[in-house]
Amino acid sequence: MAEPTKSATLTIDGTSYELPIHTPTAGPDVIDIRKLYAQANVFTYDPGFTSTAACDSTITFIDGDKGELLHRGYPIDQLAAKSHYLEVCYLLLYGELPDAKTLEAFEKLVTNHTMIHEQMHNFFRGFRRDAHPMATMVGVVGAMSAFYHDSTDINDEHQREVASIRLIAKMPTIAAMAYKYSIGQPFVYPRNDLDYASNFLHMCFAVPAETYHVNPVLSRAMDRIFTLHADHEQNASTSTVRLASSSGANPFACIAAGIACLWGPAHGGANQAALEMLREIGSVDRIPEYIARAKDKNDPFRLMGFGHRVYKNFDPRATVMKQSADEVLDLLGVHNNPTLQVAKELERIALSDPYFVEKKLYPNVDFYSGIILDAMGFPTAMFTPIFAVARTVGWISQWKEQLADPQLKIGRPRQLYLGDTARDYVDIENR
């Protein structure tokens, strides 16, 4: 990071403190408060981190006002149109687009790590069949630390690399196994002759009793969904992975923590919640009732798949996802899908409603993704596991970047304490 060229002055009780300002390659300037507590004996206060940069990074940039999302400088709409998920994985991990030979070697490396240790199959059988697949994924991914001891030493660059490839390669296998277990079908092993997205569809939808042919339209749509969810700067689950990693926890434990955080309906769980909401609305004539509820301060209901902490214009991923929904449903011959009609009308009405316009609430990546996944045959409970599969490369890239930072310190926020000051214990007979 370049030396600061300017500073901010903070004056407290007549004493002034100079705080360096860092200028990024893109985005707002950053006031460096690392020495503030030592100098002025004060904390800053920012629950939810609305104004806080927790790290520096070169991986992903988001401009919420412009609706811009760059991965190592490349716009998401170009990557979604021209690239594919494993190439985007390489870009996020190593910083540059690979040449053909390098890409082929990377894809082969990932492909050859897609099987999981056979004994890990037993973990799935410890869950109830109706367990949410995210519960299974948190458990099984965390358990990888118990099977892959040769890639848990975070201080060993080679082990970090092996863990990275293992996680990217095995997440689809684990997610597909969680799905198969939930529907009582046998696990389907990965196949090395299939690309990443086709392999995932095969592991989810093939059965031993017959040959499964991957529909290239679905495979392309699946790959695009993976690409659109790959990374997203310092979102809640990525920040969870970074915080877990700052204590020196092994990569599998850190990714399991990220999966757990992603599960929440305010974050990755929104794709499941959004489709369930659209189904609950059911028809266009019921939209006004739900718009009114979303605006009612006394009603906890929110439009799932709407709003974003950063995007205050539009989520570029939602734009691509909406186009993909139209293409996939048309090609599948699913015309006049009522859920898609409700989604489009809900978007139209909401974006003309002053409440949503003033609060800058637009569809986010989760608003349309569930419609495509539903049309592809996935149950809603598999939507967030698919998000987790895709986001693993983002978590891993940010995890690697943080471990390479010589300034890495354990993350340990402070607080604004409003509790009791010191007081003496009162014996029970005197209470």
Q: Which residues are catalytic?
A: 308, 366
Nearer to ligand SDX, 107 or 231 (CB): 231
Q: How far is the CB of 267 from ligand SDX (least distance, A)?
A: 4
Residue 235 near ligand SDX by CB under 6 A: yes
For ligand SDX, the binding residue among 113, 279, 309, 312 (CB under 6 A) is 309
Residue 302 binds ligand SDX, judged by CB under 6 A: yes
For residue 55, the minimal CB distance to ligand SDX (Å) is 15
What is the distance between the alpha carbons of residues 205 and 202, in angstroms, rounded to a whole number? 5
CA angle 411, 412, 417 (to 5 degrees): 155
Residue nearest to ligand SDX (CB): 307
Residue 386 near residue 378 (C-beta atoms within 8 A): yes
Tell the smallest beta-carbon distance from residue 409 to ligand SDX (Å). Answer: 24
- Measure the CA angle with vertex 197, ends 167 and 169; round to 5°: 15
- State the CB neighbour count (10 A cutoff) for residue 96: 10
For helices 316-331 and 338-350, the axis angle rounded to 10 degrees is 150
Q: Cα(154)–Cα(168) distance, rounded to whole angstroms?
A: 17
Surface-to-core class of residue 311, CB atoms within 10 Å of its CB (0-12 exposed, 13-18 middle, 19+ buried): buried
Q: Which of 22, 113, 191, 267 binds ligand SDX (CB under 6 A)?
A: 267
Considering the complex, what minimum distance in angstroms separates the CB of residue 116 from ligand SDX?
26
Report DSSP letters for 196-252, one per residue.
HHHHHHHHHH-BTTB-----HHHHHHHHHHHHHTS--SS-HHHHHHHHHHHTT--HH
Q: Verify binding: residue 232, ligand SDX, rule CB under 6 A.
A: yes
The residues in 373-392 that bind ligand SDX, with binding defined as CB under 6 A, are none
Question: CA 408 to CA 426: how far, in whole Å?
Answer: 44
Contacts of 252 (CB under 8 A, 6+ apart): 141, 142, 143, 144, 145, 148, 152, 163, 167
What track of x and - describes contact with ligand SDX for positions 321 through 360 (by CB under 6 A)? --------------------------------------x-
Q: According to the binding rule CB under 6 A, does residue 306 interact with ligand SDX?
A: yes
Give the integer Cα–Cα distance in Å for 200 and 188.
10
Rank residues 107 and 366 by Cβ distance to ligand SDX and give the closer one. Answer: 366
Nearer to ligand SDX, 235 or 337 (CB): 235
Query: Quick one: which of 139, 142, 190, 305 contacts ligand SDX (CB under 6 A)?
Result: 305
Q: Does 294 bind ligand SDX (CB under 6 A)?
A: yes
User: Taking CB under 6 A as the rule, does residue 292 contact ligand SDX?
Assistant: no
Q: Which is nearer to ligand SDX, 98 or 264 (CB)?
A: 264
- The residue among 8, 1, 57 whose CA lies nearest residue 35 is 8
Largest CA-CA distance found in the chain, in angstroms, rounded: 79
Q: Is 258 in the site for ligand SDX (CB under 6 A)?
A: no
Does 93 bind ligand SDX (CB under 6 A)? Our answer is no
What residues make contact with ligand SDX under the rule CB under 6 A? 48, 232, 235, 266-268, 270, 294, 302-310, 359, 361, 364-366
